[in-house]
């Protein structure tokens, strides 16, 4: 199965490199650019949680009476990631989800949270997620990105969910983005300190440890089934393509 993982990673290298060289990063060169970036990226921060929770539902026991489900290693991975994503700490040590921390960073830097707030409001009101996505007037690329994520989260077989989670939703951020953030922190720390903390915390929590466990999870779920590995490859490739489209939306929203 190690060979399958290596082949999968190799097959996705082109899409990953394409994302890393997306022209969006060259355009984010000041605070205004960062503000506009977060207004697009926030949707990826939010819907990632639903993909994660769909894995938790499928791979752990969340019903009564409790019974053991699947591999304890996989349960540990999912529950550990949920813990880190759903109830981490902010700069002051207060419990907060990564999504809420991201929103806090947006507010601090002066970015609008209107669109994501409206989407969550509609979901709270009980509106079907697909209808809610269509109703709030998002750019078609953002809408397509969200629709793909929720199609996977709600309908895909578990090995495909795990594959997209592991290989299709990496936050690929080139070094130039980190350099910009450090420069902005020097210039306007009172506006980007929370975002800087979010990026650092996200990297720390989602480091190599989680990556290795996630790959083990995919290996366990796919086993020696060639068809499952191919389904993971195709779904992950499309997920990376959808992320590229999400980045494209930045240009349409800022002309």
Which pLDDT score, from 0 to 100, does residue 203 have?
76
160: Cα separation from own chain's centroid: 16
| 88 SS3 class | strand
Q: For 87-139, where are the alpha helices, taking DSSP H only?
A: 98-109, 114-124, 129-135
Burial letters 22-47, b for 16+ CB under 10 A, else e: bebbeebeebebbbbbbbbbbbbbbb
Do the beta carbons of residue 99 and residue 49 sit within 8 Å? yes
Provide the percentage of residues in the chain whose pLDDT is more than 90. Answer: 73
Residue 120 pLDDT greater than 90, yes or no:
yes
Do the beta carbons of residue 150 and residue 47 sit within 8 Å? yes
Digit-coded pLDDT (tens) for 42-85: 999 999 999 999 999 999 998 899 999 988 888 988 998 899 88
CA angle (217, 220, 222) in 5-degree steps:
105
Digit-coded pLDDT (tens) for 200-219: 887 777 666 777 888 888 99
Q: What is the pTM of this model?
A: 0.93
Which pLDDT score, from 0 to 100, does residue 29 have?
87
Which pLDDT score, from 0 to 100, does residue 81 have?
86
Residue 173 pLDDT greater than 80, yes or no:
no
Residue 171 pLDDT greater than 80, yes or no:
no
């Amino acid at each position: 199965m190690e060979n399958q993982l290596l082949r999968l990673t190799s097959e996705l290298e082109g899409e990953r490199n394409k994302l890393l060289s997306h022209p969006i990063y060259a355009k984010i060169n000041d605070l205004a650019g960062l503000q506009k970036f977060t207004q697009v990226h926030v949707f990826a921060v939010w819907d990632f949680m639903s993909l994660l929770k769909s894995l938790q539902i499928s791979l752990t026991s969340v019903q009564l009476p409790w019974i053991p489900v699947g591999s304890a290693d996989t349960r540990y991975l999912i529950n550990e990631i949920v813990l880190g994503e759903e109830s981490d700490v902010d700069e002051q040590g207060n419990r907060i989800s990564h999504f809420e921390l991201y929103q806090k960073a947006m507010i601090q830097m002066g970015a609008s949270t209107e669109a994501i707030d409206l989407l969550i409001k509609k979901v709270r009101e009980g509106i079907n997620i697909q209808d809610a996505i269509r109703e709030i007037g998002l750019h078609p690329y953002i809408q397509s990105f969200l629709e793909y994520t929720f199609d996977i989260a709600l309908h895909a077989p578990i090995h495909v969910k795990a594959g997209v989670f592991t290989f299709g939703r990496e936050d690929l951020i080139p070094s130039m983005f980190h350099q910009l953030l450090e420069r902005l922190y020097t210039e306007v720390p009172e506006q980007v300190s929370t975002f800087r903390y979010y990026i650092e915390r996200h990297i720390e929590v989602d480091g190599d440890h989680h990556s290795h466990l996630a790959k083990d999870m995919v290996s366990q779920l796919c086993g020696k089934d060639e068809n499952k590995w191919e389904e993971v490859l195709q779904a992950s490739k499309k997920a990376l393509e959808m992320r590229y489209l999400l980045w494209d939306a930045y240009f349409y929203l800022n002309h």
